[in-house]
Chain A
Amino acid sequence: MNIPSPILTLLVGIFVTIASLWYGQNNGLMPVAASQEAELVDGLFSTMITIGFGLFLLVEGALLVAVFRFRRKDGDEGDGEHLEGNIPLEIVWTAIPAVVVLGISIYSFDIYTRMGGLELMKHDMGGPGKMVEVAYAADAVPGSSTSALGELPLEGDLLESDLSEGELISEAGLGAPVEMADSALSINVQGLQYAFIFNYPDGIVDGELHIPVDEPVELKLNAQDVLHAFWLPEFRVKQDMIPGQETRLVINAIREGTYPVVCAELCGPYHGGMRTQLIVHSAEDYAAWVDERMAALDNGEVIASLPTPAADKTDAEYLETFVDPLQLAIAPESLTALRSE
């Protein structure tokens, strides 16, 4: 295979490099970055987009050039050049992707470590057996709630089982340095069809996530019925919520504002309606919010910002979830169970 002249190669190379660098920086595809994690992920994303776009231009360019330049003329019944391969060229195009993916792997590993991904591993090493994913310790297996033949657990049934009393011995997710996480604000998040319930320290329960800015917040994720996934698009973090297995996320907000909280794992018909909002406060506002909620608690209000139960909402009512995130789609029996707790 003849390689094009060095000058042409150089010009094409310069063009592709500039175009992909520009697109990597200016694609505008990601939403606002509202957490430290988001900034790290966006760095990785723009690097990968730069490389990917460059590769796209090169290969599609070669394809288009070939298609137009080597078009068969009418009536030409001859063959193309007999060219079975070119060892140096094949080595080059095997080596380049190998180096690229190795580079991306190392960079991803670095980003993942800086996001606290490996901190959990250190944490797990604290005791024997913790490296293994096991849902429950043997003594916590609830025998009574095993579904009998033909009697399937319906939503709500699971809530009443003694699942949540199981001894949780595994955790996985994204973390932060252990010493920081230990002192951080820790919020328990329960996922259920079709809502997130946030349990704050001091007994505050809310349907929205309120956190202070510039402070690590630990989220302990549990699911009550089926799999859910806790996703904060503006924070670039996501973690499945698994029944019988606690998972953990540590998030570090860097911008005040209101952001969506989305369930990303198919969890039933109204999965699309399982959303709420995350409100990042300044430290003072957060303290004020806690005071306000504590006062409400003293007045006997257990759960605030929870929706009215609605099993038969109209389409428009479901869509209000997006206009007013408090109108969550939640199964009535789940809500009853929660309120009776």
Chain B
Amino acid sequence: MLLGNERKWTDYFTFCTDHKVIGIQYLVTAFFFYLIGGALATAMRTELATPAPDVVTPDVYNGLLTLHGTVMLFLWIVPAGAGLANYLIPLMIGARDMAFPRLNAIAFWMIPPSGILLISSFFYEPPQAGWTSYPPLSLTTGMLGEGIWILSVLLGGTASILGGLNFLVTILKMRVPSMPLTKMPLFCWAMIATSLLILISTPVLAGALILLAFDLIAGTAFFNPTGGGNPVVYQHMFWFYSHPAVYIFVLPLFGAISEVVSVHARKPIFGYRAIAYSSIVISFLGLIVWAHHMFTSGTPPWLRMFFMITTMVIAVPTGIKVFGWVATLWRGKIAFTSAMLFALGFISLFLIGGISGVMLAAVPFDIHVHDTYFVVAHFHYVLFGASVFGIFMAVYHWFPKMTGRMMNEFWGKVHFALSFIGMNLTFMPMHELGLRGMNRRIALYDPQFTDLNVIATIGAYVMAVSTIPFLINAVWSWRYGEKAPANPWRALTLEWQTLSPPHIENFEELPELITGPYDYGLGYTAERDPEELYAHAVPAPAS
């Protein structure tokens, strides 16, 4: 008997424990906050079109920058990654759901209150101390806004810990018996690495924020120098989480791109083991590089040297991944789908962010550009180039699976072209701005920097416009798009071997693996008679 694969739209607004519903809840919520974060960024760039602080007042500007950073990191990238992981992990490993379905739902339901709380602060007292919230400034700019900021991030962090725990247990314990770790899709490897980072580092952020809240509300002096506290200790605790957080943001997308590149180039991923293990190495190294954010913070010289070397070393596993993706494309049969275009954009933009990252690791150079637009350019190449392009790539790739409908490819390409042009127009000039002397987080700037800022602002508008074709395409295709077959990309991983969208418990019978996830070019065919999909989920070799 065929299990129903229909969900009522109301299910998406309930405490549903189906991982697929939760995955889509996460993704849609994340996109909602992406639009808000983007609007905040556009307001900031509008302000920066001229040197004078003439659009918003400087304190409103600081509220914008704090909320933009916090929203984009904690309410867009992290939930979007968690959404993909929620949707894909059980399907990819042949499980019927996550290990702890209720915990999973609880984790999601912390996100909307966290976000609404944070956004609401904008209307009475926006937090102004930046997403880093360094004391003593965070202790003097208003207790209410800062308190809300702390509470909101704590909620998001808790959701993240619960989610990470769930991903780890699910991947390690619930794979179909025929799937050893070395036959697991690379996305799952990336999620193991991500979850380990979340579990080790996020509690430290929570500790820092709770102590900061004590300083703020109860007048203690952990970080407040007026009472003998040390503000640099906060920075150590904050970055012990927030540097690994960068990998929490990008590792899931590193995993996703490995899936997409292989399928759309129809080649096995080049160097499966190297890419899988490099995720784990990045995860380990990511934990011992945090003080590179603090080279000018009074960090002792010998410590600066240690952190310089550990930071540089991360370039090696990251390089292995980039070379692996490029080699996967080489001699493949590349289809220019929207997903593939975003993957190509991802690789080329991440390369630029990676190179500037190695430069920033060098202490003498970092001392010059720390807290300037060079750093802003660098992390937007990583976080917009890799994370945002990666998320869009994943949506174009898995949309047919999630909704049972194809997205419109033409508008996907328009979306890509506008995003790619807008992204580079916005962030490329910032490298030069930073090198020449423009510090970050300022509403008013030296008029000599006007021209480059105007270019960046035009780029930001192009990026803002680029979301319009995407939104219309996503909403329209979800409802009226061409019906998707079970496996439109002819992929070999398990999530494609079931219905689109999958029925409630994913697989009617647990699938058995015959091929590895990337065995292209061996004569396996993923073309299946749709009727058979209900029974088994195994691509058989072509006879």
Contacts and interface: CB of A to CB of B under 8 A. Distances in A.
Most chain B CB within 10 A, of A37, A79, A82, A265, is at A79
B236 to A, nearest CB: 10
Nearest to B448: A322
Contacts of A260: 437, 446
B300 interface: yes
B140 A135 contact: no
Interface string A61-91: 0110011001111001111111111100110
A227 B232 CA distance: 10
Contact of A31 (B224, B436, B522): B436
Interface string A216-254: 000000000111010101101111101111010000000
Interface string B420-440: 000000000001100111011
B265 A70 contact: yes
A242 B219 contact: no
B414 interface: no
A270 interface: yes
B478 to A, nearest CB: 27
Contacts of B372: 264
16 contacts: A2-B331, A30-B436, A79-B521, A81-B267, A82-B520, A84-B518, A93-B320, A141-B228, A155-B140, A158-B225, A158-B226, A229-B370, A234-B437, A242-B231, A269-B58, A272-B58
A174 interface: yes
A83 B141 contact: no
Interface stretch (B75-83, B117-125, B153-161, B291-299): B291-299
Q: How large is the interface on B (under 10, 10 to 19, 20 to 34, 35 or more residues)?
A: 35 or more
A29 B161 CA distance: 42
Contacts of A158: 136, 225-226
Contact of B309 (A72, A105, A264, A267): A105
B371 interface: yes
B435 A146 contact: no
A295 interface: no
A80 B134 contact: no
A101 B58 contact: no
A112 B364 contact: yes
A126 to B, nearest CB: 14
Given A72-B335, A90-B320, A83 B51 contact: no
A269 B301 contact: no
Contacts of B139: 152-153
Contacts of B61: 269
A2 B216 CA distance: 62
B221 interface: yes
Contact of A71 (B296, B315, B334): B334
Interface stretch (B194-202, B343-351, B468-476): B343-351
A272 B226 contact: no
A135 B136 CA distance: 14
Contacts of A121: 300-302
B14 interface: no
Contacts of A85: 270-274
Given A48-B362, A59-B351, A79 B143 contact: no
Contacts of A81: 267, 331-332, 521
Contacts of A231: 371, 439
Contacts of A16: none
Most chain B CB within 10 A, of A94, A107, A136, A321, is at A94
Most chain A CB within 10 A, of B51, B229, B298, B361, is at B298
A94 B331 contact: no
A52 B330 CA distance: 22
Interface in A142-172: 142-143, 145-155, 157-158, 161, 163, 170, 172
A157 to B, nearest CB: 8
A40 interface: yes
Given A78-B266, A238-B296, 16 more contacts: A29-B432, A63-B326, A72-B334, A79-B333, A85-B271, A86-B327, A90-B320, A112-B363, A170-B298, A172-B299, A172-B301, A227-B137, A262-B439, A272-B443, A318-B53, A319-B444
A316 B300 CA distance: 41
Interface stretch (B20-28, B106-114, B352-360): B352-360
Contact of A62 (B216, B308, B326): B326
A328 B501 CA distance: 62
Contact of A243 (B225, B266, B301, B334): B225
A211 interface: no
Interface of A: 1-2, 29-31, 37, 40-41, 44-45, 48-49, 52, 55-56, 59-60, 62-63, 66-67, 70-73, 76-86, 89-90, 93-94, 97-98, 100-102, 104-105, 107-109, 111-112, 115, 117-118, 120-121, 124, 131, 133-136, 141-143, 145-155, 157-158, 161, 163, 170, 172-174, 225-227, 229, 231, 233-234, 236-240, 242-245, 247, 260, 262-273, 275, 315-316, 318-319, 321-322
Q: Which 3 A-B pairs have the closest CB atoms?
A: A272-B442, A82-B521, A233-B437
B172 interface: no
B218 interface: yes
Nearest to B267: A80
A319 B362 contact: no
Most chain A CB within 10 A, of B62, B322, B356, B439, is at B439
Contacts of A59: 322-323, 326, 347-348, 351
Contacts of B490: 77
Given A30-B435, A84-B270, A98-B316, A269 B62 contact: yes
Contacts of B301: 112, 117-118, 120-121, 172
A184 B292 CA distance: 30
Contacts of A150: 143, 219
B129 interface: yes
Given A60-B351, A80-B267, A115 B364 contact: yes
Contacts of A84: 268, 270-272, 518
Contacts of A154: 140
A223 to B, nearest CB: 9
A55 B348 CA distance: 12
B207 interface: no
B130 interface: yes
A319 B333 CA distance: 56
A78 B370 contact: no
Contacts of B329: 63, 66-67, 70
A321 B439 CA distance: 15
A118 B359 CA distance: 20
B57 A55 contact: no
A277 B532 CA distance: 76
Contacts of B370: 229, 238, 264
Contacts of B54: 315
Given A41-B365, A83-B331, A108-B365, A173 B298 contact: yes
Contacts of A147: 219, 224, 226-227
B316 A94 contact: yes
